[in-house]
Structures are given as C-alpha cells and as structure tokens.
Amino acid sequence: MKTKKTPLRMCLGCREMIPKRDLIRVVRAPEEQGGEISLDPTLRSPGRGAYLCSKPECFEKAKKINAFARAFACPVDPAVYDALAAMLGKDETAE
C-alpha cells in the first residue's frame, strides 16, 4: 500500500518545513476579490498563502522582520497581527 505524502510548508518565523496542518495560514485574496489579507482557518481559501507555526517566538520574529509584507508584496494591516496574536493566545496590547 502506498503511503500518502504529507504537504510541507515553511514557517515565516523559524523557516522550518512543517506539515501544512500544523501551521496557521494567512492569505491575501486575489485582486479580483479585493486583495484583502486575513486569517484562513480552513487552509483552503483562494489566494496567496503564507504560513506561521504556533510558537510565540515565530510570531514575534515574523512581525519584527515584516515577513508577511514581504511574502505578499504589500503592506499588512495591524489588525491582521492582532488577529494572529489573539489566535495564538497572546496579548498584543502589552507592547
């Protein structure tokens, strides 16, 4: 019996290849749909995706180096970072 191949994606913070299911996906919708950047809990929304693992250090590093802005080639709204912080259970207002 053939084993099923697990899709791997790179975390923007730690740059490690991790199974897609274990990552948080942030997606930029296609330009025809407004190009809005949002979280994608289903991992299936159309558009350009960028992935982040659930480690707080990775979130901090990705935010510090503007990894999402580079991945999407456009500025990222601070509300996206707030939503990511909430998803990770981190209080973003403490900074």
State the pLDDT at residue 2. Answer: 84
State the pLDDT at residue 90. Answer: 62
Whether the Cβ atoms of residue 48 and residue 3 lie closer than 8 Å to each other: no
Distance, in Å, from the CA atom of 64 to the CA atom of 92, rounded to the nearest integer, reads 13
User: Taking the CA atoms of the chain, what radius of gyration do you get in angstroms?
Assistant: 14
Mean pLDDT by 10 residues, the chain (95 residues): 92 97 96 94 95 95 96 95 89 48
Domain ranges in the chain are: 9-94
Task: Say whether domain 9-94 belongs to CATH 3.30.1230.10.
Answer: yes
**Residue 68 is encoded by which pair of tokens?**
């999402």
